[in-house]
Amino acid sequence: MAKVIKGGTVVTASDIYQANVLIEGEKVISIGENIDSGDAEIIDAKGCYVFPGGVDPHTHLDMPFGGTTTADDFETGTRAAAFGGTTTVVDFCLTRKGEPLKSAIQTWHKKADGKALIDYGFHLMISEINDNVLGELSQVVAEEGITSLKLFMAYKNVFQVDDGTLFQTLTKAKELGALVQVHAENGDVIDYLTKKALAEENTDPIYHALTRPPEAEEEATGRAIAMAALADAPLYVVHVSCAAAANKIKEARDAGYKAWGETCPQYLVLDITALEKPDFEGAKYVWSPPLREKWNQEELWAALRNGSLQTVGSDQCSFNFAGQKELGRNDFTKIPNGGPLIEDRFSILYSEGVHKGRIGLNTFVNVVSTNAAKLFGLFPKKGTIAVGSDADIVIFDPKAERTLSAFTHHMNVDYNPFEGMKVVGEPVTVLSRGEVIVRDKQFLGKKGRGEYLRRATFQQY
């Protein structure tokens, strides 16, 4: 049966207007004030915004990391995402040196198949470049539709690659039409500072941040941009945490380079002092790059507002405090890095961004959905409300007020880094490919209903 979303204000990256949205099957088939919706089921959106479903370009679900595995898998993570207003995720498929890419991708498919509740794609991590990898990459792009490759410039002796690997990947990616993403921190400098801190018996969580200074992120961001410029390849910098790194991206874009950047809600809202919380609570705030001094936040908001950063990813990488974060009680280097944000990304961005006047509604849609869909080959199937697009839609009550908390969130993790934070605005009804999957605080979709997304090659918008 067709459905019609009635009485709401449709907001896309470019428009804001009163309209009804008619959905048949999985697609939007008509939008307008006076459309003939026949006996379609009515979904009331009076007083609400009608947003495209969120596209989260940065998640780590069911990922082994730091001697443990993330607390959320594709089932719990994507359910939480849906409650929060996100209807597409692009997750990072890890690879290991010596392992065929195909086998790594199969492993990731097994994690998601039959579990994901919303649609999903994969980015592919590159851990080495050799003839086998170069040979396999064209199949990865053409057959798997994996059109983005991720390299780590940090996590020495774990994930870190050298500059040669990054440069060769950029060159190959340009040939294949793939987008290279980097975790930009100088891993060698961090390794030295970390060893020094431990030798001086500085083991508390705050030393995680003090051994990963903004200069290490700024330098690696600039280096990656220089290599991308040399290869004439597009570059996407994940989880930009500080003004200095954001400025590197802005300068590159001003100079005409193909550089894009993502930040995350934690860098927009939290600051380095959280790592000093007593009783080892600081471990809940261990991310890489780390939280920065507070003044960086308004600079990151400005970068979103003026377009020098284009997306906000969750970097969902959840570990329980009990038994997981606690692994690093006596040594900050053993605290698994990352936090749970897949659910609250959308609402934090609305509340702290739109409600507090830092960004407008169109920018909100751009950074929470549209730009990621465009950069990662999903637009206009995802990332907008348009005739022919998937009916991935969030009906959002901008007046609802609530408090973020581990007691009410749906992520499979025992704390929320935003515990007690009041937000304005709430996704009340969420549709994925025309199916109502969240209504009245209930999840209505079936486990495994999420579809794997083969993505188009990179296009510059």
* Residue reference for tokens 């020495």: 156
Query: Residue 428: which residues within 8 A CB-CB, separation 6 or more?
Result: 48, 395, 396, 397, 400, 439
In angstroms, rounded to a whole number, what is the distance separating the alpha carbons of residues 209 and 17? Answer: 44
Q: Does 410 participate in binding Zn ion (rule CB under 5 A)?
A: no
Element (H, E) at 348: helix 345-348
- Nearer residue to ligand URP within complex by CB, 119 or 315: 315
Residues of span 319-358 touching ligand URP by CB under 6 A: 337-338
Among 80, 140, 206, 317, binds ligand URP (CB under 6 A): 317
> Considering CB under 6 A, how many residues would be counted as binding ligand URP?
9
In angstroms, rounded to a whole number, what is the distance separating the alpha carbons of residues 332 and 207? Answer: 7
Residues of span 50-79 touching ligand URP by CB under 6 A: 60
- Report what 287 binds from ligand URP, Zn ion, none; CB cut-off 5-8 Å by kind: ligand URP
In angstroms, rounded to a whole number, what is the distance separating the alpha carbons of residues 221 and 91? Answer: 22
Q: Does 267 participate in binding ligand URP (rule CB under 6 A)?
A: no
- Nearer residue to ligand URP within complex by CB, 287 or 332: 287
Query: Residue 358: which residues within 8 A CB-CB, separation 6 or more?
Result: 301, 304, 305, 352
Q: Does 363 participate in binding ligand URP (rule CB under 6 A)?
A: no
- Report what 194 binds from Zn ion, ligand URP, none; CB cut-off 5-8 Å by kind: none
DSSP 122: E
- Report what 337 binds from Zn ion, ligand URP, none; CB cut-off 5-8 Å by kind: ligand URP
Peptide bond into 289 cis (omega under 30): yes
Binding mask 226-265 for ligand URP (x = CB under 6 A): -------------x--------------------------
Q: Does 315 participate in binding Zn ion (rule CB under 5 A)?
A: yes
Question: How do 311-312 and 393-403 pair as beta strands?
Answer: unpaired
In angstroms, rounded to a whole number, what is the distance separating the alpha carbons of residues 34 and 29? Answer: 14
Helix (H, G, I), strand (E, B) or coil at 371: helix
- Nearer residue to Zn ion within complex by CB, 6 or 183: 183
Q: Does 62 participate in binding Zn ion (rule CB under 5 A)?
A: no
CB of 71 to Zn ion, least distance (A): 15
In angstroms, rounded to a whole number, what is the distance separating the alpha carbons of residues 316 and 89? Answer: 10
Contact in structure between 224 and 235 (CB atoms under 8 Å): yes
* 41 class by beta-carbon count within 10 Å (0-12 exposed, 13-18 middle, 19+ buried): exposed
Which token pair is 97?
Answer: 């040196």
- Report what 70 binds from ligand URP, Zn ion, none; CB cut-off 5-8 Å by kind: none
User: Taking every pair of C-alpha atoms in the chain, what is the biggest distance, in angstroms?
Assistant: 73
Tell me, rounded to whole angstroms, the distance of Cα 46 from its chain centroid. Answer: 30
Residues in the chain: 461
Residues of span 148-187 touching ligand URP by CB under 6 A: 183
- Nearer residue to Zn ion within complex by CB, 417 or 445: 417
CB of 163 to ligand URP, least distance (A): 19
- Nearer residue to ligand URP within complex by CB, 183 or 258: 183
CB of 184 to ligand URP, least distance (A): 10
Q: Does 208 participate in binding ligand URP (rule CB under 6 A)?
A: no
CB of 173 to ligand URP, least distance (A): 19
CB of 395 to ligand URP, least distance (A): 31
CB of 241 to Zn ion, least distance (A): 10
Question: How do 68-69 and 64-65 pair as beta strands?
Answer: antiparallel
- Nearest Cα residue to 283 out of 249, 244, 321: 321
Among 122, 167, 287, 364, binds ligand URP (CB under 6 A): 287
Q: Does 185 participate in binding Zn ion (rule CB under 5 A)?
A: no
Contact in structure between 235 and 255 (CB atoms under 8 Å): no
Contact in structure between 417 and 284 (CB atoms under 8 Å): yes
- Nearer residue to ligand URP within complex by CB, 183 or 433: 183
Q: Does 382 participate in binding Zn ion (rule CB under 5 A)?
A: no
Among 183, 208, 325, 409, binds Zn ion (CB under 5 A): 183
Q: Does 217 participate in binding ligand URP (rule CB under 6 A)?
A: no
Q: Contact residues for ligand URP (CB under 6 A)?
A: 60, 183, 239, 287-288, 315, 317, 337-338
Q: Contact residues for Zn ion (CB under 5 A)?
A: 183, 315
